[in-house]
Structure 1
């Protein structure tokens, strides 16, 4: 995609954010794969906590990326859950369920870092937190590593494990890819629901995995706790999560494919259109796709996955109106616009092939 302050770099939606810090130890034993036909006996609470953070290599499928909001698994079952708006982990409580070795009594979130009182965030290893899945079920989450992001003191990447009640073991809930086989997570204030809407909830936060758009948009520069030239970036970050998943209707439904190249630029000038041709991007092949607000597209010229615009109009009836050509500048124009909205006031725009 792009770097900050007017510079630009284009990449696909499965952009590698950073090299994994917590590489798998070849000497660690590989866990036995789950057998869906076998009943796994439950373990005691003491045994469950003793098993956390053991460095086991994940034995999950490498699912395609491009539609994920949280970057987490959709379910614990053997078969992949088809609904992309489901997740085994959507929010986490700040109050520790079981303190780590350092005895952290409480937590707070400062920018993109979890801070334990009175210990520093690097002492959180082993702490177990109470999380919640998209269907409202409780899930235990263990903090197994904390690594400050190189060159950015505001961010800490966490290696996490969640207790899989089906397989009766701790697993990384983040979806792996070939580029990031053991993904980590960022701590982000508030929670996202199945529609992709963000809500500030006292005492709760999100562990956003590397392969999801919540953390990607932060990596691209849209930190929701930061201001740029006096304007808070929280709404810009939220608009980015809609744009990255091509969530036109603002209902949590994505319309993109893995590895689709897109070019992002915003009204603040933090990211600007890419004009130079490279191996990753050819500006002459690209065309305007959409303008974006925090709740979805405000102006639409085409779909990213090449489906007809009529399918989007049917998906969210009454949201858009057609017919009038809207000129946004820089050659961007569309004929499908948000009903009652002002497309020119959009926070983000993008182009694609």
Structure 2
């Protein structure tokens, strides 16, 4: 059964906390409709971590922000985003505002641009607590102090402003804000991109501890496969607005089934391997532009075929979708069917 064929949980089995079905996002560009996300489906349970990898422009952030309807009004979104059984894409705005922060929250890329520079971090952490938890100022302040201490920022700095903190501390503050109302789901959009490797490791370890201790579900977006393989239980690789491969992260990195996943892995040099360090493989060519995607026949051909060294004639004409490629794994590649003997 592929991700697109899922409808309901098997009898006796609880439905997933998050069930995304055939999610599509497009924008209007003049007279043309430009696709950004094309039929993405996946599930996530409490306490699970799912990494989303891919090149810039592959649709990772657009997909993630669409889950809580955080895209601009020009975006056209369809499909289903079932969060605890409720479709957030059709929920009324009042209900959606209640879900944001209290049940699901976002750690944005670039904390300095996400934090308000003229308000103290204490004010910014307390705001969602006062709004959603309906508690007094004193209790909200105590909760904000606890949150700062929990992410390794001294609570005595509650009245400091964002510019008074380092990049790593600001990212920790963003995590504290995301945890303010004890959500079940956190979407982390490139949370460590601008950090040095030492601070990056600290932030990743912090997120890992939160998952283990609080049972929070996490979707982490990154172009760095090493970060995702360290942090996430499962990994989905996106290309041109679609998932090309999904499965357990360790197996997916060690034994990639899709040529694009292999190309991503080769693009990172291996520490201690001079040949890899001096000549990283990389990937020739560029991803398709939105206009080129708009010209692709719906469901026909593989968008990666023009850059793929293993492409066959059928890759440019046949229907390509996610097919089983191992235990709890799927890959959108015709070579997978060859290997299965079908």
Tell me the TM-score normalised to structure 2 length: 0.29
Tell me the TM-score normalised to structure 1 length: 0.29
Q: Which has the higher strand share?
A: 1
Q: Which has the higher helix share?
A: 2
